[in-house]
Each structure stands twice: as structure tokens, then as C-alpha cells.
Amino acid sequence: MSKESIQYKNEAEIELLRESSLLVGKTLAEVAKILKPGVNTKALDELAETFIRDHKAVPGFKGYGGFPATLCISINDEVVHGIPGNRIVKDGDIVSIDCGTYKNGYYGDSAYTFAVGNVSEEARLLLQRTKESLYLAIEQAVVGKRVGDIGYAVQSYCEQFGYGIVRELVGHGVGKNLHEKPEVPNFGRRGTGAKLREGMVIAIEPMVTLGDYNIKQDNDGWTIRTIDGLPAAHFEHDIAIRKGKADVLSTFSYIEEVLNKQQ
């Protein structure tokens, strides 16, 4: 499914990608409104699917490689690709919700990890710092930098806190396909890897663990979790590479508007 070579986008295509990406942020904000202790993850998924379809788009993940749902919902030690179902969200959980949309031929792909109720201080910091690492990485997502500069930004920031950086799962180009070239690892060396050029659109998605970075896959064929059982966080934005300053196509502003009202 991933294209062999980097697919460069023109301005019209970038605007379509922005529309799909913004819809992900709006969908996650709707989900945030009902994400509370006692809700089951299937209910979150159904809300997201209805909202996306009401906006003349289709869920980007459903059916992708056989994935059965609209959202990937990954709780606590689950890193990514958790399948929504009967599981009940509890007070103190951290809940990563990754969402994809497909509209006008282009994908949006963005993720946010939510603190539900009273989470531990170490979990709260893990979320805060993982999100901070995403924005540090975005600062590197400009013409003339390389993919390794992005990975280095995430890794160097997170490792100072003793966190792990998941190796097997990476960010990616995004466009007419959900996963395109280049791969965008969350670790790396400065000045290495693919050169960033105007017209590239990439998803940057740090997956950061409180303990060791080693992961395993559940028997469901999807859910990825830490081997040591410690929690993980995941934040993701879609970015168009520009000269001087990255153009973030997705947004957390709708989500954080909802969260700020809940406080």
C-alpha cells in the first residue's frame, strides 16, 4: 500500500489534505466530549464514524489492511492499533485515540492521548512531554532539513526523561494513500535520511513509553503494547513541508477547547 517513491503534492492537493486532517481534529473533539469513566470504547468508535460520514467523508482506517473500526483506541500499556469494543474506560486511564479520514481522495491522520479523570503524575508528564516532542519535531519539518532531524528532535527530548522511543512503528508520508514514503522514525541522527522538500506532506507521530521501548502484538493481530506493561503515549499531526515554517494541516485546537471546558 505504501508507494515506492515520495508523492509530491501541489497547493490544491495540500488544501484537500488540510480539509481531511481538520476533520480528524473535529472528530476527536466530538469523541472527547463523551470520553469519561464508564464509557465503552465501541461507543466512541460509533460516534466517530457517524460524525465522519455526516461530513461527507469516510473513516480512513476502517477496512485498511482489514482493520475493523474507525478509531484505534489504545489504553495505558497499549501503544497503538487497539480495537474498540466492550472495554470500559476507567478513571486514571490514558487513552490514545488515532483517527483517519478519507475525503475527496485524500487522507487525514491524527492522534491524541487523553488523560481520563485522575491520572498519575508520571502519566500526566508522559503525555505532556510526548506532545511537546511532537512540536519540537514539527519545528524541524521545513525545507532543507532531513527526516533524521525530526527523529532526533523526538528522541533527544524524550530520552532525557528516561522514556523509550518505539522503534518498529514510524510516521509516514500521507496523501492519496494513508501510508506513503518517506518513513519518519521517531529516532535518528541529525542531517541523515530523506531530504525534506516543498510538496511533501508527512505524518509525524511520536510513540513514547514510560519504560522500555520494546513492544509486542496481541493475538488479535492488531493491538501493540509494551512488553514491560508500562504506559505509552501517542500524538500525531499531518504537516506540509514549507520553507521556513512547517504548515500543520491537522489541529488539536478543537480537542483542547473541549478539554479546557471540562476542567
Q: Is 93 in the site for Mg ion (CB under 5 A)?
A: no
CB within 8 Å of 131: residues ≥ 6 apart = 113, 233, 235
CB within 8 Å of 77: residues ≥ 6 apart = 225, 226, 229, 230, 231, 232
Rounded to 5 degrees, φ, ψ at 101 are -130, 160
Least distance to Mg ion, CB of residue 252, Å: 13
Least distance to Mg ion, CB of residue 219, Å: 23
Q: Which CA distances in Å does 258 have to 45, 253, 254? A: 18, 9, 7
- 3-state SS of the chain: helix, strand, coil percent to 5? 30, 25, 40
Site string for Mg ion, 213-252 (x = CB under 5 A): -----------------------x----------------
Closest CB to Mg ion among residues 64, 161: 64
**Number of shown-chain residues binding Mg ion (CB under 5 A):** 5
d(CA 183, CA 194): 9
Among 45, 49, 77, 109, binds Mg ion (CB under 5 A): 109
Question: Applying CB under 5 A, which part among 6-14, 22-30, 104-112, 141-149 lies near Mg ion?
Answer: 104-112
Q: Is 30 in the site for Mg ion (CB under 5 A)?
A: no
Least distance to Mg ion, CB of residue 3, Å: 15
Q: Residues interacting with Mg ion, by CB under 5 A? A: 98, 109, 111, 203, 236
